[in-house]
Amino acid sequence: TPELARNTSFGVVLAEPAWAPNFNVSIDYYKIKIDDVISNLTAADIVNYCFLGVLPQACNSFNLNNQNGQNFINVQSFNFASIETDGLDIEASYSWPEIFGTSGTFTMRGLATHIYEYVTDNGLPGTIRSDTAGVNTGNTPDWKVLAIQTYGTDKYTVQIQERWISDGVLGNQYI
């Protein structure tokens, strides 16, 4: 079946206030829920769920003791129950025109994302929902930050960029 998503978001933008000219900041909160997510189980999960009796129909999708050929595990897409995530996106920048009496402009810009939760529910009986927010083995660390410093004139531009990813855990399922 097709995926069905609901998204709620709201934010605030502050652009060049009188007390801080050349300063801009944007803060956005988001909450997303997707039902009937099209995804797939890992090969290890298919074998484990077969032997645990959680997904007996998966037992026909692999052969790990094939005497006549290659061993295989057939990984196919199906509809997960849901994925829910919420978090915060922040962007800020400040520019200094003609800094130190030069004709160029120096700009500092930062982008940050904070993930509060990233809950996956495959909907299979006997399995539990998994919250991977803060797990650094995927793409859901607590914080991701990108900082960019730029100095530019009419003739050239120099830019330095840094990335920072927060510390985290290998898996929340072990807590």
DSSP string, 113-160: EEEEEEEEE---TT---EE-TTBTTTTB-SEEEEEEEEEE-SS-EEEE
- Look at residue 81 in the predicted model and tell me its pLDDT: 86
Do the Cβ atoms of 165 and 139 come closer than 8 Å?
Answer: no
- Look at residue 12 in the predicted model and tell me its pLDDT: 97
Question: Half-sphere exposure of 45 toward its Cβ, with a 13 Å CA cutoff?
Answer: 10
The C-alpha atoms of residue 110 and residue 60 are separated, in whole angstroms, by 51
- Look at residue 174 in the predicted model and tell me its pLDDT: 54
**Across the 175 residues of the chain, what is the mean pLDDT of every consecutive 10-residue run?**
92 94 96 90 83 81 80 81 94 91 92 94 82 81 95 93 89 61
